[in-house]
């Protein structure tokens, strides 16, 4: 019997990160989770700490072992304001952009050892939409596109794929919605998405059916960016 595939999921204590970890566990993966709180789906090997701290990331990767089949960067902080708060800018860019860079940089050797795959959770805010509340959030999420495309080029020679998922309005506690989840006039499908729907896309990108996909972005927004 072949050993279980191993994944590190940051931000697995809630929302999309939780749904991803839960989906991978159900598929038989060994999942190491990293979050500020000691929470997550039953069965994860939990590491409590700051996903933007390279030393904490290195510890979590050490628990994964020398080979890493999947890396999912879902940790992040939501948009808030005011837009010209420099402290908010620094912290948001640190957690929503720099943390992903460190995870990909440190995780690349183990991903290369198993020809694994990384998936980054971004947002439609930044690449498509601006933000009145949080310039920092929009800038960080827009920056993920360039980071993912660059790391896809760097990882390709080692058989490592790197992709981006850009959710729209997803029904999680991350960012309180402006409208009821099942009555969204700003979404053509008329509702918010579910974290499990994002997890399904992540699972696809990590798996063999996506073996020729790298440097790409999958938008999961119910058609919102078509408006």
The catalytic site residues sit at 137
Sign of CA dihedral 34, 23, 194, 123: positive
Cβ contacts of residue 117 below 8 Å, gap of 6+? 69, 70, 71, 111, 160, 161, 162, 163, 205, 206, 210
Q: Using the CB atoms, write b or e for 164-193: b if 16+ within 10 Å.
A: bbbbbbbbbebbeeeeeeeebeebeeeebb
Query: For the purposes of burial, counting CB atoms within 10 Å of the CB of 37, is it exposed (0-12), middle (13-18) or buried (19 or more)?
Result: exposed
Q: Which 3 state secondary structure label does DSSP give 72? A: strand
Altogether, the residues listed in the chain come to a count of 227
The number of C-alpha atoms within 13 Å of 37 and in the hemisphere containing its C-beta is 9
């Amino acid at each position: 019997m072949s050993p279980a595939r191993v994944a590190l999921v940051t931000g697995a204590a809630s929302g999309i990160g939780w749904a991803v970890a839960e989906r991978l566990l159900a598929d038989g993966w060994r999942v190491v989770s990293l979050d500020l709180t000691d929470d997550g789906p039953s069965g994860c090997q939990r590491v409590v700490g700051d996903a933007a701290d390279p030393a904490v990331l290195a510890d979590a990767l050490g628990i994964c072992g020398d080979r890493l089949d999947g890396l999912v960067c879902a940790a992040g902080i939501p948009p808030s304001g005011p837009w010209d708060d420099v402290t908010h800018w620094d912290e948001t860019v640190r957690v929503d952009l720099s943390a992903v860079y460190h995870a990909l940089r440190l995780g690349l050797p183990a991903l290369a050892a198993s020809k694994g795959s990384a998936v980054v959770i971004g947002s439609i805010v930044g690449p498509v939409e601006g933000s009145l509340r949080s310039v920092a959030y929009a800038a960080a999420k827009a920056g993920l596109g360039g980071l993912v495309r660059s790391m896809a080029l760097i990882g390709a020679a080692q058989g490592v794929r790197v992709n981006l998922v850009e959710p729209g309005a997803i029904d999680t506690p991350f960012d309180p919605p402006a409208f009821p989840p099942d009555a969204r006039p700003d979404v053509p499908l008329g509702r918010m998405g579910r974290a499990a729907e994002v997890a399904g896309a992540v699972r696809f990108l990590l798996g063999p059916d996506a073996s020729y996909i790298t440097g790409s972005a999958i938008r999961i927004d119910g058609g919102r960016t078509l408006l």
